[in-house]
Amino acid sequence: MQILYELEKVDVTGVRLFAPASIANISCGFDVLGLCLENIGDIMEIRRSNTAGIQITSIKGQDLPLEAEKNVAGVAGLALLAEYNPQLGFEIYIEKNIKPGSGIGSSAASAAGAVAGINYLLGSPFSTKELIPFAMEGERLACGSAHADNVAPALLGGFTLVRDTNPLDICALPTPLELVATVIHPKIEVKTADARAVLKTRVSLEKAISQWANVGALVSSLYEEDYELLSKSLVDGIVEPARSILIPYFNELKDACKKAGALGSGISGSGPSVFALSRGMTTANHVAQAMQAVLEKTEIPFDIHVSPVKQSGVSFLEDIT
């Protein structure tokens, strides 16, 4: 691709941005489906530096590495600079509001925010879709594989589908206007490696066919704004049965969501967060109360979020001059 150096925003020294959380898999879409959340995310500042490479200047809220090569934002930024111009330098400050290991795309938000901010300051030589492979390198550091089901919605917004990764092919999907997500994060640790380890490497043809049908129906429901079809499609007969044993009170949470009127619910990413999708904010808040009631009876601390689907990805809040 042709790199347009002359587009660089020479009058701006930095940018402050919002890097959103995301929900991956969405029940039937293991490793291929994701959605972007509106009001959960990190705040990041990206600034130019006279020192080549990436420097993580400060991280507020979580104890994470400042070394660029050990930080997902640093690795993603370095991947972009390796393609554009390795002699350039940027500093990154992160206000980490998404807890690592929560299952709502903490590493993806940092990686997406880093590459979006650097690209913005360079005058956007890369399209938003072209930023996804750079952000995926941050995911490779975080969990050992360069997957796109979180970084794609974090950058593009809305619902996304990863049709293929070699070569990368991402489909942006529409979002029904009344759809709202509720997410509860039990503050326990579920390591991605453990969540991967419990999965079977072979599934029956019957289960595979059912899963394919649900993914196709879910995509159709998004285009048609068919909430009934969406509800029937939020079924995972392959991954959820294996991973649910890692999340205490998972079945109780699902039952509570159903009784409160949710369209459906499941594991967010590799867990431990559990998500539900509802039609309308009122129902989503009722679902939140029902989820909360389940874990309040236990000794497990938790966070809970209610959020519309964010139609755009990373948001630029203000230029720093």
pLDDT 10s digit of each residue in the chain, 321 long? 233 344 566 678 999 999 999 999 999 999 999 999 999 999 999 999 999 999 999 999 999 999 999 999 999 999 999 999 999 999 999 999 999 989 999 999 999 999 999 999 999 999 999 999 999 999 999 887 888 999 999 999 999 999 998 899 999 999 999 999 999 999 987 766 677 778 888 999 999 999 999 999 999 999 999 999 999 999 999 999 999 999 999 999 999 999 999 999 999 998 999 999 999 999 999 999 999 999 999 999 999 999 999 999 999 999 998
Is residue 13 domain-shared with residue 155, that is, in the same domain?
yes
Q: Do 38 and 143 belong together in one domain?
A: yes
**272 and 314 fall within a common domain:** no
Examine the domain organization and report whether 17 and 118 are in the same domain: yes
Residues 80 and 131 grouped into a single domain: yes
Domain shared by 9 and 134, yes or no: yes
Q: Residue 89 is part of a domain; what is its CATH number? A: 3.30.230.10
**What separation, in Å, do the N-terminal and C-terminal C-alpha atoms of the chain show?**
30
Q: What is the pLDDT of residue 7?
A: 56
Residue 255 and residue 293 in one domain = yes
What's the pLDDT at 5? 41
Q: How many domains does the chain divide into? A: 2
In a shared domain, residues 12 and 152: yes
CA distance 99 to 91: 22
CATH number, domain of 202, equals 3.30.70.890
| Whether residue 72 is found in the same domain as residue 169 | yes
Tell me, yes or no, whether 233 and 136 share the same domain. no
Identity of the amino acid at 126: F
Catalytic option among 13, 130, 165, 192: 192
pLDDT computed for residue 1 by the predictor: 29
Assess contact for 47 and 91: CB atoms under 8 A. Answer: yes
Are residues 167 and 245 located together in one domain of the fold?
Answer: no
Task: Please give the pLDDT value at position 143.
Answer: 81
Rounded CA-CA distance 135/72 in Å is: 8
SS3 36: strand
From the number of C-beta atoms within 10 Å of its C-beta (0-12, 13-18, 19+), residue 320 rates as: middle
Q: What is the pLDDT of residue 196?
A: 75
Q: What is the pLDDT of residue 6?
A: 42
**Active-site residue, from 38, 45, 139, 240:** 139
Whether 192 is a known active-site residue: answer yes
Q: Are residues 168 and 275 in the same domain?
A: no
User: Domain range spanning residue 287?
Assistant: 179-308
* 73 closest CA partner among 96, 48, 103, 49: 96
Q: Is 282 an active-site residue?
A: no
d(CA 134, CA 152): 11
From the number of C-beta atoms within 10 Å of its C-beta (0-12, 13-18, 19+), residue 123 rates as middle
pTM of structure: 0.93
